[in-house]
Structure formats: C-alpha cells, structure tokens
C-alpha cells in the first residue's frame, strides 16, 4: 500500500500558497493558478510552485500558444503527424499545456495545419514586406530537382544598403511544370506582386539587381524582366562561373580524375583497407570523397593527392589488384609518368579557385571584395598559360550580362568617389549562394521519410523556417545543383 501524508500535514505544506487547494476525495492538490492537479508530496509541491509556469509567467492566449507551438515544430523539423503520437501528446498534456490557461488539450494535426499555418505564413510575409517596403532590393532565384523529380524554384530578396546588416529573405518556393525563360520571368513577377500587393506598380523601380546562374533560360528571363523593372541590372553568379571553370579543369586532366574517383571507391565501405591505411600512416587522413556538383571539392581532392602522393602510392602497392577494379585502376594511373606533374600543375595554378569558391560563399561580401577575389583567380589562370582553361574563364565572363556596369560601381566605391545612389550597391551579393542554402533546407525538410507534404504547405513551412532562423541556423551546406542543365560555352 502506497504511503500517504495525513491531511493536516498536507494542509501545513500548502498553507503558504493560497492558490493550492487540497482535494480529500482523490488525495490530490489542485492549483487554481495553473488549473492542474499535483501530487501530495512535499517535493512535488515545491517543484511545482518553483516552476517557470507557476512563478508568475504571464498566461498566454490559446492562439499565442499554438502559434509558438507550430513554429517550434517547424524549426525543429518535427513532422506534424507526431502530434497524434500518444507519447508526444501525453508529454505536452503533462508539462506544457498548463502554459495556456484556456486550453488543456492539443488540437489535432489537421486543425493546426488548416487553421493556424496560414496565419503564421501571412504574418511572416507581412514582416518581410515591412522590412523591404521602402528599400531598393536585390533578387535572386534558382531551380533544382527534388527527389520526386519535380522542378522546384526558390525566390529570394534582400534590401540593398551601404551597410552589411540587411538579411536575405526567402519569399517563395514553387513547383513549375516547365522551366523556360517565360515561366521563370512570370514566376518572379507573381512573387513580387504577392509581396507588394496593390503597391506593385509603384515599386517596380525598386528592383536594382537580379542574380542567377548562367543557364540559357535564366539569361532569357533576365532580358524579359528588364522590360518590367527599368532600373534592374542582371549578373550571373561568380561562384557558378568558377565552378564551370573547375569542371573544365577536371575534363582536361582525365588521369587525375580517374585517380580521384577510384581513390574514393577504394576506402569507401571497406573497414579493412581503412585499418591498413591507419596502421601504416596513423596521421594520414582518408582520401576525400568529392561530389562533382559541389563547388571546389574536386580541386581539394587533387591537392590531397599532391600532398600525400608517396603515402597513397605505397598503400596501393600493399593492396591486391584482384580485390577490386578500383584498386587496379588506381595502380595503373598512379604509376604513369605524367600523373605527378599533372597533380602539381593543378595544385600550383588552380588551387586558388577552390579558395575563391570558399570565400565567395561567405555572407556580407562587398562588391569590392567579390571582384578582388574573382580578379585574383583570373590573373592566376591567365598566368598559368593553359589556353583551354583561360578560354573557359573568358567565356563564362562573357555570358555575364551587366557585370561591367557593376564593376564600374565597385571601382567608384573602392576609390571613395561613389554617390549615395552608387553606395547602395556596396553589399549587393554577386553570387546566388543563398538560394543554394535554401535548397539544402528544402531537402532537409522534404525527404524520403516525409514526402506527403502538399506543395502549398511545403512552401509555407520552408518560408517560415528560413526566415525565422536569421539565416544563420539554417542548413548551410552549400550544394550546387546538377550542372548538366548549364550550357557549355
């Protein structure tokens, strides 16, 4: 039989707390402030009255509680179906729902989604509108393909100012049936009409810069949009341009590419070979596993083989060619006379591209800094005397419509002769890196285990998520989209 305190003892424990009432019928204590029952133990009473909820925390309205609850689910990427999970529901019933004095139960998932999600989304867009309504803006968009095979387009805006404090906002995430210049340009117009509402016609001159990649339909869309936004300039992403050059380098050195690809396979999912490497060279890192469509990783892998060429060659001699085709291929390549010279040439002349890609991805780069980084790469590539790479770099530059105009602005800012109208361009991003970050967020939220989200709800969730994290806590692995959609020059 469980121990119970006498009623007079319990009354003595709660006499200092007039909001606590002893109920003798079920031997519990009822808190009139929190509208909840607690156990008749001294430690339980003490824990309750010293808790955050009981200690004067202002009682919030049911709507405030549910708005915060929904935002909590979104920012933690918790599927809404978990609201129906008995363990989840019981936990919130026991510990959290008392924060809302007028509600003792969580509503169902469908009520949360249908009634409250739209309101939170509308409030988020209203906040963005208030932040940019009187500002000149930079816009950027890009397209990716999700794992369901749909064409997803994200649209971002950023207020332009002479300071670096202005953040980037994601305002749309749409699935388009067809991707071409016409659909992309109409998508941009629809997004801005939705954002500005009735004031759209008065705001068209506020769009100063469009940043995209250099794929043909984006260039076409840029030409169409200039007819709607008279002050708009169009530049293509400098990071994408350098990535295209890096792809050209990879195609020019097939032996190095073969070595990197097979070196990646040799140690992948092979604990015995990893152990051999660690036994022979304890301080030697494993060969990198570059992703071709991720900026700069192939060049980083080439630098690895330059640094650890002898060690990797020695390890390969200890592996049997009959074990795997990748071992046989790697041995054949690493014993070629030209492979070391090719690796050294890539590292000495093109490593700067990898460094530049890393630097261009940093937030709040000024246009002056962006041009300095890009021009340094251009200088080194021209010095390398590699005609195919030089030609590729010049080709991608030639596909950048208004880059020379922005360069003129940059020179004026650097010299200190810029007027206020020019200074507003000081922190205009010359890359579409932020769009790539939103794609990483999209793929984090929508995955194979959570693939039944309706498109409209998916857009609202990702807009709320990205714009609620101040862009700092969002998934930041910058992934390049499949470059097969890019036109070769």
CB-CB contact of 266 with 315 (8 Å): no
The 10s digit of each residue's pLDDT in 331-375 is 999 999 899 999 999 999 999 999 999 999 888 889 999 999 999
How do residues 284-301 score in pLDDT, each as one tens digit?
999 888 887 788 899 999
Domain boundary among 352, 377, 392: 352
CATH number at residue 449: 3.30.420.10
d(CA 476, CA 483): 20
Q: Is 130 found in the same domain as 50?
A: no
> Within a domain: residue 409?
no
Closest CA to 90 of 110, 72, 75, 106: 106
State whether 269 and 203 are in the same domain: no
Establish if 474 belongs to a structural domain. Answer: yes
Do 175 and 263 lie in one domain? The reply is no
- Tokens 């049997």, residue located: 320
Residues 206 and 163 in one domain: yes
Would the pTM count as exceeding 0.85? Answer: no
- Which helix (H) or strand (E) segment holds residue 144: the answer is strand 137-145
**Does residue 460 sit in helix, strand or coil?**
helix
Q: pLDDT tens, 437-489?
A: 899 888 888 877 777 788 888 899 999 998 886 544 444 443 443 444 444 44
In a domain, 97, yes or no: no
Q: Is the per-residue pLDDT at 142 higher than 50?
A: yes
Residues 292 and 213 in one domain: no
226 and 298: one domain?
Answer: no
DSSP state of 450: B
Contact by Cβ (8 Å): 13, 45 = yes
Closest by alpha carbon to 348, among 370, 373, 381, 372? 381
Q: Is residue 113 part of a domain?
A: no
Kindly state whether residues 228 and 269 are assigned to the same domain: no
Residues 148 and 201 placed together within one structural domain of the fold: yes
Residue from 233, 164, 189 nearest 403 by CA: 233
Question: Which two tokens mark 341?
Answer: 């010279």
Q: Is residue 46 part of a domain?
A: yes
Please work out, in degrees rounded to the nearest 5, the angle formed at the alpha carbon of residue 461 by the alpha carbons of 460 and 467.
Answer: 90
245 domain-assigned: no
Residue carrying structure tokens 């959609």 = 485
Same domain, 175 and 264: no
Boundary-marking domain end, from 352, 379, 406: 352
338 found inside a domain: yes
- 394 domain residue, yes or no: no
- Using DSSP bridges, classify how beta strands 151-159 and 233-236 pair: parallel, antiparallel or unpaired: unpaired
Domain boundaries, position 31: 1-57
**Count of domains for the chain:** 3
Choose the final residue of a domain: 41, 57, 73: 57
> Are 131 and 210 in the same domain?
yes
């Amino acid at each position: 039989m469980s121990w119970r305190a006498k009623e007079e003892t319990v009354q003595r424990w709660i006499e200092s707390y007039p909001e606590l009432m002893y109920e003798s019928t079920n031997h519990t204590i009822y808190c009139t402030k929190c509208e909840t029952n607690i156990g008749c133990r001294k430690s339980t009473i003490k824990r309750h009255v010293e808790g955050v909820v009981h200690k004067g925390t202002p009682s919030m309205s049911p709507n405030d509680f549910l708005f915060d609850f929904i935002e909590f689910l979104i920012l933690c990427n918790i599927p809404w179906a978990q609201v129906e999970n008995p363990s989840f529901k019981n936990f919130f019933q026991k510990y959290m729902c008392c924060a809302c004095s007028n509600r003792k139960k969580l509503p169902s998932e469908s009520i949360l989604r249908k009634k409250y999600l739209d309101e939170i989304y509308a409030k988020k867009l209203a906040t963005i509108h208030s932040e940019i309504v009187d500002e000149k803006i930079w816009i950027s968009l890009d397209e990716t393909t999700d794992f369901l095979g749909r064409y997803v387009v994200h649209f971002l805006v950023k207020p332009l100012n002479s300071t670096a404090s202005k953040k980037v906002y994601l305002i749309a995430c749409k699935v388009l049936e067809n991707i071409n210049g016409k659909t992309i340009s109409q998508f941009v117009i629809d997004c801005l009409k939705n954002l500005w509402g009735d004031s759209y016609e008065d705001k068209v001159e506020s769009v100063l810069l469009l940043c995209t990649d250099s794929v043909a339909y984006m260039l076409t869309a840029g030409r169409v949009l200039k007819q709607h936004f008279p002050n708009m300039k169009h530049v293509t992403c400098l990071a994408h341009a350098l990535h295209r050059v890096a792809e050209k380098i990879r195609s020019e050195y097939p032996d190095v590419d073969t070595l990197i690809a097979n070196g990646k396979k040799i140690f992948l999912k092979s604990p015995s070979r990893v152990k051999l490497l660690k036994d022979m060279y304890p301080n030697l890192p494993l060969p990198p596993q570059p992703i071709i469509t991720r900026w700069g990783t192939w060049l980083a892998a080439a630098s690895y083989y330059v640094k650890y060429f002898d060690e990797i060659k020695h390890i390969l001699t200890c592996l049997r060619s009959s074990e795997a085709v990748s071992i046989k291929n790697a041995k054949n390549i690493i014993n070629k006379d030209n492979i070391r010279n090719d690796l050294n040439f890539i590292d000495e002349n093109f490593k700067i591209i990898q460094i530049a890609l890393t630097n261009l991805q940093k937030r709040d780069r000024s246009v002056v800094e962006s041009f300095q980084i890009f021009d340094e790469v251009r200088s080194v590539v021209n010095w390398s005397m590699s005609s195919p790479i030089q030609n590729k770099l010049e080709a991608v530059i030639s596909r950048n419509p208004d880059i020379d105009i922005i360069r003129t602005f940059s020179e004026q800012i650097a010299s200190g002769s810029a007027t206020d109208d020019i200074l507003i361009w000081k922190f205009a991003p010359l890359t579409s890196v932020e769009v790539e970050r939103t794609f990483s967020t999209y793929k984090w939220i929508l995955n194979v285990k959570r693939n039944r989200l309706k498109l409209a709800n998916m857009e609202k969730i990702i807009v709320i998520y990205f714009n609620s994290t101040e862009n700092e806590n969002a998934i930041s692995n910058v992934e390049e989209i499949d470059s097969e959609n890019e036109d070769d020059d």
